[in-house]
Chain A
Amino acid sequence: MILTLAVIFPLSSAFVIPLLHLYGSRGLRLFLPIMGLGAFVLTLAAAASGFGDYALAFFGGWPARLGVVFVADGLSSVFLALAAFGCGASFLYFYEQMGTGPWRFYVIFFLLQASMNGVLLTGDLFNMFVFYEIFSLAAYLLVSYSLTWQAVEAGLKYLVMGTVGAFFILLGAAYAFIATKTLNMAALAASFPQMPKATLIVIAACMVVGFSLKAGAFPFHFWLPDAHSSAITAVSALLSGVVVKVSIYSLIRVSLLFFGDALPSVFDVITVLGVLSLLGGHLMASRQQDIKRLLAYSTVAQIGYIMIGVGMGTATGIAAAVFHSFNHMLMKSGLFITAGRLAEEIKTRNIQDMKGLYYHRRGMVLAFTVLAAAIVGVPPLNGFMSKWYLVVASVEKRSFLAALALVFGTVISASYYIRVLSVFYTPGEGFSEHESRRPVLAIAALFSACCVVLGLLPFFTPIWELFVEVGSKALNTKDYIAAVLLK
């Protein structure tokens, strides 16, 4: 019930908003915060229901092998919580800035949230493709929402790349269907090991290429910096924080369920892609002068970190990847909100023009500093913890090259974030003297506080064991198949 509502409630909100707008906009002002809050609460509730045991919702009352089923397990719970917080923050930011005026934005926003929950919950490959397309279309539209020429062009680029990726996913699903005549993910997972090797390789390649295109891993990353830097601030935070993570979730789910036993060499490919995007993203980021482009390239690199964790294919690796995804949502959403807000206020995105910003915008710059320190990996913060576990996982798996790349990448990222911060703290003049408004400061402060807390928690409580449990449960495909098919 709650799993269904997590998708249906935001979806029907998106249907209701035009009616509210057309027939009296006072209703919109009244209901919009309720819708945002409701979507947030329901997503969190769905996350909570799936955390302990497998939670299932059968559509139309049909068993899993006949109809479509929603499955929530530990992995999807963590990502659902991530999506809830990321969407909530960017909803708050946009609502604070624009009010209820741009109602089409909210329609697309709720469609995005509904379809993201759908991708995170669904247990059917074709249903995943359908939700994936809603959420991709919504993402393209959000990128080009501001209708500046950069935004439209970035949106078109994103659309072409994303659609090619979608058709690769569709082709992979078609192959899986031809081979097994079913598209339920549990049934597919059960029958994949008996498939001919050549077919298996084609499906694996189509899936990895499709999801990498959608996530923006290195050889397919062209659209990501444009899209994430041209969008408005709230959307940049949403895209970098949440939308990319949904692609990562699909990659984790599909690779673990389908290829964990049948074709383990997929994980090596994912590791290589991860190392490439880590190094490529960091090297490109260190050459940027535009602060939002810098952050966008840093996202490419962070996807690399997560993919290395996935590529280890062990419980520790998956746990570290999931932990890093959550941390990256906090850090990068926070960074985009603070940096985007600062850039909007001083009307430039060039780093060199931001000299002395600290002396005029203390709150925002302090929050930015904490978040940047976290993403570089300064010890007590959460970025350090997740990177540490990633290194531990890759050393356990004896892939020292990946571990070396992780450390080397951290050094490069430190160099360019220090460059930005040193500009901020050098004395300079020429900014108007007003501090950012409270709600934005509150969001930034909340995110940086979360970074500190999440960094310290693994020392005190067994939160790390919680993540390892999520990882080992995601690896245990037999339990998943049994839970879905036998109920």
Chain B
Amino acid sequence: MGLLLLCLGIGWWLWKGVAAMEDPEFIIGPAAYYIINTAEETGAANIVAAILFDYRGIDTLGEASVIYTTVCGVAMLFSKSKYKRSSAGLSFIARRGVSFLVPFLLLYGSTIILMGHMTPGGGFQGGAVFATVTILLCIVFGSSFEMSRIKPKTKETIESLGGLFFVFLGGVGLLAGAGFLANTAAGFPRGQVGNFLSAGAIPLLNIAVGMKVGAGLSTIFYSMVRVLELEFGEQMSEVEGNDKN
């Protein structure tokens, strides 16, 4: 009860802080500049993507590093648990259905990544779709199938290469003397706004982030499911043993 009152008190006091502010009718600050000048300065039609990958690119590098840290940490935490047996997977119908779906899902993921500078989407969202595909494969076909097709080593390689690619693209700007992660100022072609080939380095950065996020999220899921399967696998074998008796 005391805790509830404390939290309500904090909430009331936070509300007082918001209530004291008045909202301006129109956009002020750097956002106004972005809305007016994005098309001319970066060539990206998606202003949010321009902010994420150009104006505040270092934030995105940091964000990708957060995922990288988590992936490395989860893999480290579960590195000592041994993988014994795979889940059986689902029925024939589910397997057929998913095999029809997978190419379209991959296409969808690549579209989201490659068109990130024109439409809503980008490396993170597309990478998450790619990770979903591997998770689907793992659930429907059993985890050993997924592991035999996409080795953990491959995933780690893709992830590290994605990070290095991002840093390399940033380094081009640094070498050109325009600052780390510079886009058009470093000589990347701006292109025509709304074209597929436009916005300089932003599509490339999207690909780098997509590689990193897709491989990373897939690794997180894979490390965790391995452990859970161990526990449930032991329980399952006990249940099966009881059935036979």
Contact = CB atoms under 8 A, between A and B. Distances in A.
**Direct A–B contact in the complex, CB atoms closer than 8 angstroms:** yes
Interface of A: 1, 4, 8, 11-12, 14-16, 18-19, 22, 57-62, 65-68, 104, 107-108, 111, 114-115, 118, 126-127, 130-131, 133-134, 137-138, 140-141, 144-145, 147, 152, 171, 175, 178-182, 184, 195-199, 201-203
Nearest to A179: B21
A68 to B, nearest CB: 5
Nearest to A102: B76
B3 interface: no
A199 B17 contact: yes
Main secondary structure of the interface of A (DSSP, over half): helix
B139 interface: no
Interface string B53-66: 01111110111011
A459 B11 CA distance: 52
Contacts of B16: 198, 202
A181 B180 CA distance: 25
Contacts of B17: 175, 198-199, 201-203
Contacts of A1: 174
A392 B183 CA distance: 52
Interface stretch (B25-33, B99-107, B237-245): B25-33
Contacts of A178: 18, 21
Contacts of B24: 181
Contact of B160 (A18, A57, A133, A199): A18
B96 interface: no
29 contacts: A4-B174, A8-B171, A11-B167, A15-B160, A15-B164, A18-B159, A18-B160, A57-B180, A59-B57, A60-B55, A60-B182, A61-B179, A61-B182, A61-B186, A66-B33, A66-B55, A107-B72, A111-B69, A118-B62, A127-B56, A127-B59, A130-B66, A141-B69, A144-B77, A180-B29, A182-B29, A184-B30, A195-B21, A196-B20
B14 interface: yes
Interface string B9-48: 0000110111111001001111101100000000000000
B141 interface: no
A22 B56 contact: no
Nearest to A140: B73
B68 interface: yes
B55 A62 contact: yes
B156 A134 contact: no
A104 B79 CA distance: 10
B82 interface: no
Nearest to A67: B55
A16 B174 contact: no
Given A14-B68, A130-B66, A178-B21, A8 B180 contact: yes
Nearest to B24: A181
B121 interface: no
Given A59-B57, A127-B58, A134-B69, A22 B156 contact: yes
A451 B171 CA distance: 40
Interface residues of B, number: 58
A68 B65 contact: no
B174 A134 contact: no
A141 B180 CA distance: 29
A184 B18 CA distance: 20
B56 A15 contact: no
A66 B36 CA distance: 13
A335 B149 CA distance: 50
A67 B77 contact: no
B75 interface: yes
Interface string B223-242: 00000000000000000000
Contacts of A19: 157, 160-161, 164
A138 B157 CA distance: 21
Contacts of B181: 59-60
Contacts of B174: 1, 4
Contacts of B31: 181
A111 B29 contact: no
B170 to A, nearest CB: 7
B98 interface: no
Given A144-B77, A182-B29, A60 B157 contact: no
Interface in B158-177: 159-161, 163-164, 167, 170-171, 173-174
Contacts of B56: 59, 67-68, 126-127
Contact of A115 (B20, B62, B70): B62
A108 B180 contact: no
B19 to A, nearest CB: 7
A11 B29 contact: no
A318 B107 CA distance: 57
